Amino acid sequence: MGRPKSTVVGAGNVGGTTAQRLAEKDVYDVVLVDIVEGVPQGKALDISQAGPVCGYSTKVVGTNGYAETAGSSIAVITSGIPRKPGMSRDELLATNAQIVKSVVTELVSRSPGIILILVTNPLDAMVHVAKTVSGLHKSRIIGMAGVLDSARMRTFIAQELGVPGPDVEAMVLGGHGDTMVPLPRYTTVKGKRISELMPNDRLEAIVQRTRDGGAEIVGLLKTGSAFYAPSASAVDMVESIYKDQKRVLPCAVLCEGEYGLHNVVVGVPVRLGTGGAEQVVVYDLTPDEQKALEVSAQAVRELCATVDRLMT
C-alpha cells in the first residue's frame, strides 16, 4: 500500500500553502487541482523541488482534472472566488456555491469514502451545500473556521501575556463571521483560567479583535486574505483525522440536536479521527453563551436558506 492520498482543490493562496504544508509532513501523497491551466502543475513542481532541500519525498501532482484524485481519503476544498467590486454578497454566495457543488460532485464520484474539509467562504453555507449535494454522512463533511478563529485568539492572548502561543488553549464556537462565539470561560494558559491572568477589559478587546481577525488581515494585505494560518488550521484537522488523534477541535458540522440546535451547520467542538467528525462534544454553556450560539446558528440558517433559494 502506498501513502494515503490527499487532494487540495484550489491552488490559490490557501490551497497552495495547504499543499506545501501537507507535502512537508512527508506522510501523504498530494494532488493539487485548479481550473487555471499551469498553476496547479507549476505549484506542484515547485513544492516537489523543495523536497530534497527540506527532506521530504512526497509525491505532489498538479492537475486541471479529477482523474488523479481517485481514491483520495481526504480533500481540502479551497476553490472559490473572492468578492469583486460591485458584486453583491448573494452573487458571491451563488458563485462559490456552484463551484463547491461541482467540485464536491467530481470528488465524491471518484472517491466515495472521502472526507471533505471545506475552507471556501462563506464557510458554514459551503458546508451546507457540500452536505446537500454529496450524499455523504455528516461526519465526512467538516468546515474549517473554529481552529483558525481560536488560533487568532490564542495568538493575541500569547502576545498580551508574553507566553508561548501553544500554551494557550481557546475555543471559538458559532458561525464563521460577526456572530462567532469566543468562549473566555474555556480559555486557559497552562490550565490557568484567562480571567485570573488579565483584566476583563483587555479580554473583551481580544475577543473583539478575534471577531475582526480576518478583516484586520484583509485591511493590511489590501488584496487577498489570510492564508498562512488558514492552511495551518486545515492541515491540523487533516492530521487529527489521518493519525486518528481524536483531538477535540472546533469545526463547522451539521448539528442534529447537539446544543439544542437542529439541522444547522455551526461551529462546535468536534472529536476528529479516522471516521471524520466522530462526535460533537457538548460543553456546559451559561445561558448567555447558549443564547450567543443560537443567534449565530440563526444567522447561518438564514444564509443557508438564501443559498438554497439561489441554487434552485
Ligand X SMILES: NC(=O)c1ccc[n+]([C@@H]2O[C@H](COP(=O)([O-])OP(=O)(O)OC[C@H]3O[C@@H](n4cnc5c(N)ncnc54)[C@H](O)[C@@H]3O)[C@@H](O)[C@H]2O)c1
State the DSSP code for 1.
Answer: -
* Whole-angstrom distance, CA of residue 162 vs CA of residue 156: 10
Q: Which is nearer to ligand X, 99 or 300 (CB)?
A: 99
Closest distance to ligand X from the beta carbon of 103 (Å): 5
* Whole-angstrom distance, CA of residue 249 vs CA of residue 152: 14
Does position 226 interact with ligand X (CB under 6 A)? The reply is yes
Cis peptide upstream of residue 122 (ω within 30 degrees of 0) = yes
Q: Which of residues 99-118 bind ligand X (CB under 6 A)?
A: 99, 102-103
Locate cell 480571567: which residue? Answer: 195
Q: Which is nearer to ligand X, 176 or 271 (CB)?
A: 176
Our measurement of the distance from residue 174's CA atom to the centroid of its chain's CA atoms, rounded to an integer in Å, reads 13
Catalytic (active site) residue 137: no
Sign of CA dihedral 215, 220, 221, 227: negative
Closest distance to ligand X from the beta carbon of 43 (Å): 9
Does position 34 interact with ligand X (CB under 6 A)? The reply is yes
Does position 227 interact with ligand X (CB under 6 A)? The reply is yes
* Whole-angstrom distance, CA of residue 56 vs CA of residue 27: 9
Does position 225 interact with ligand X (CB under 6 A)? The reply is yes
Q: In which region does residue 224 sit, left (phi positive, over 0), alpha (psi from -120 to 50) or beta (all else)?
A: left
Residue nearest to ligand X (CB): 12
Q: In terms of DSSP H, where are the helices of 162-255?
A: 200-211, 213-221, 228-242
Q: Which of residues 171-200 bind ligand X (CB under 6 A)?
A: 176
Does position 10 interact with ligand X (CB under 6 A)? The reply is yes
Segment contacting ligand X by CB under 6 A, of 22-30, 204-212, 220-228, 277-285: 220-228
Closest distance to ligand X from the beta carbon of 192 (Å): 28
Q: What's the Cα-to-Cα distance from 6 to each of 3, 13, 245, 308, rounded to whole Å? A: 9, 18, 17, 29
Cβ pair 20, 235 in contact under 8 A: no
**Residue 295, C-beta contacts closer than 8 angstroms, at least 6 positions apart:** 179
Q: Which is nearer to ligand X, 197 or 304 (CB)?
A: 304
Closest distance to ligand X from the beta carbon of 72 (Å): 15
* Whole-angstrom distance, CA of residue 216 vs CA of residue 152: 11
What are the grid coordinates assigned to 293, written together? 450560539
Closest distance to ligand X from the beta carbon of 92 (Å): 9
How many residues interact with ligand X (rule CB under 6 A)? 32
Which member of 8, 14, 168, 264 binds ligand X (CB under 6 A)?
Answer: 14
Segment contacting ligand X by CB under 6 A, of 77-85, 240-248, 264-272, 291-299: 77-85
Catalytic residues, by residue number, are 176
Residues that bind ligand X (CB under 6 A): 9-15, 33-36, 78-82, 99, 102-103, 119-121, 123, 144-145, 148, 176, 224-227, 230
